[in-house]
Amino acid sequence: MNKFSIANFKSGSSVHFIGIGGISMSALAEMMLYLGYKVSGSDRSDSEALSKLREKGAEICVGQRKENIKNPDLVCYTAAISEDNPELIRARELNVPVIERAELLGELMTLYKFPLAVAGTHGKTTTTSMLSLILLAAEKDPTILVGGNLPQIEGNYRQGKTDYLVLEACEYVESFLHFHPFLSIITNIEADHLDYFVNLNNIISAFEKFARLNSPLGHIIVCFDDKNIQSIVQNFGKNVVKYGIDAKNCEFVAENIKPNSKKGTNFDVLYMGKPFLSLSLNLSGKHVVYDALACVAAAVSLGIEKEAIKEGLESFTGTKRRFEKLGFFDGVEVVDDYAHHPTEIETTLKSAMEMGYNDVWCIFQPHTYSRTKAFLNEFAEALSLADHVIIADVYPAREKYDGTIHSCDLALLIDKGVYINDFGAIERYIKKNAKKGDLVISMGAGSVTEIGHNLVK
């Protein structure tokens, strides 16, 4: 079968998305509707994303059955869809061309002169959001696909009318190797997704391949404080632009980092050793400084004026599920966070512990059995930063329980940790024990977000 090409895919053709409600798939579906294609799709349960797609003209099915495949011209699926999915099987029986989400997104990138891709183990959504706001402030009218809901665009997708496209580049199953970036950002490289990658060296190799996909006319923006990134960019020469806080020989450096009155962060940016810009961000933590610094470097590489850089970054208030403040109950503040890797948990909890709350409560739902097993001790160490830790059952996502790991195993490694297997029971436990002036964080990439929202209702 010939490789799919968006250039040869006629307007008016039909595309069916298996798992259309996912944050990346729903954005892709919207994009295809905008480009003049007929869109249908299915997902396991109804959602706000599906309602939005229906309003825009997509034909949506709740539940995945072979009957949903009505001879479309193309079927798109995600890496989370298993080979025994009835719609995927039916599409192949009918000899309908089948394409993975990342491959379709890679093809759509070819329609833009300036596709900007943000990669890294952590920080992709925040960095993509910040860069998007800079482009909007500079009146570049970009098309945006972000892995979270960004308030300024009222969702995760915005259709622009220029040659600028900004998106996240995920390393899972090496999806980002289908991409064609003009400019790319690599925020950091750590071990993750070990259900697919053999080891850290395998991951580093994938990021090096991704860097090689960058246009020779654009730049590769990298955090040079990251040792694993240092190992892959030695042979890229003048195309590499480095940023950091501690490393030497960086074009962009952050200094004078300190908290501000907004519970955010102030810092100064040096460019080529000279004062360039002073920033006052709405979010706290060293990781936010790194993400903002990456965006400054990318924006300067694109020729964007410093006034637009400052305006864009200082207008960023976060995305949903990234230290998202949900409200209060009985004087207890509730925050929801997507952190599901030990480094992300450590970063989030360190920031929370410095914010002046009495006690910090963390309700953590591990994401996938393979990740929980691979990083069991690292999870325990990171979560131990909180004053109180509640561990919920593992959110399996694409995986099946094999009996080798359980949430109890994690809870037993945390001195202040308890395992509670029911969300309702967790909510009752928190309401009984959390006190005025405390902070409660519902944390994880799965359904744990329901707890935080229920607490403030």
Which of 32, 29, 34, 37 has its CA nearest to residue 10?
37
Handedness of CA 24, 293, 315, 217 (dihedral sign): negative
**Angle formed at CA 201 by CA 199 and CA 205, multiple of 5 degrees:** 120
Alpha-carbon gap, residue 393 to 421, rounded angstroms: 6
236 vs 386: CA distance, rounded Å: 41
Cα 22 from chain centroid?
12
Among 78, 121, 125, 126, the one annotated catalytic: 125
CA-to-CA separations, 363 to 163, 425, 453, in angstroms, rounded: 43, 12, 13
In angstroms, the CA 440 to CA 330 distance is: 12
Q: Could you tell me which residues come within 8 angstroms of residue 260 by beta carbon, excluding any fewer than 6 positions away?
A: 266, 280, 281
- Single out the catalytic residue among 168, 324, 333, 346: 168
DSSP state of 112: -
- Check if 347 is active-site: no
Can 125 be counted among the known catalytic residues?
yes
User: In Å, how far are 329, 386, 406, 429 from 419, measured between CA atoms?
Assistant: 23, 15, 10, 11
Can 263 be counted among the known catalytic residues? Answer: no
> In this structure, which amino acid lies at residue 272?
M
Single out the catalytic residue among 124, 140, 242, 310.
Answer: 124
Provide the annotated active-site residues: 124-125, 168
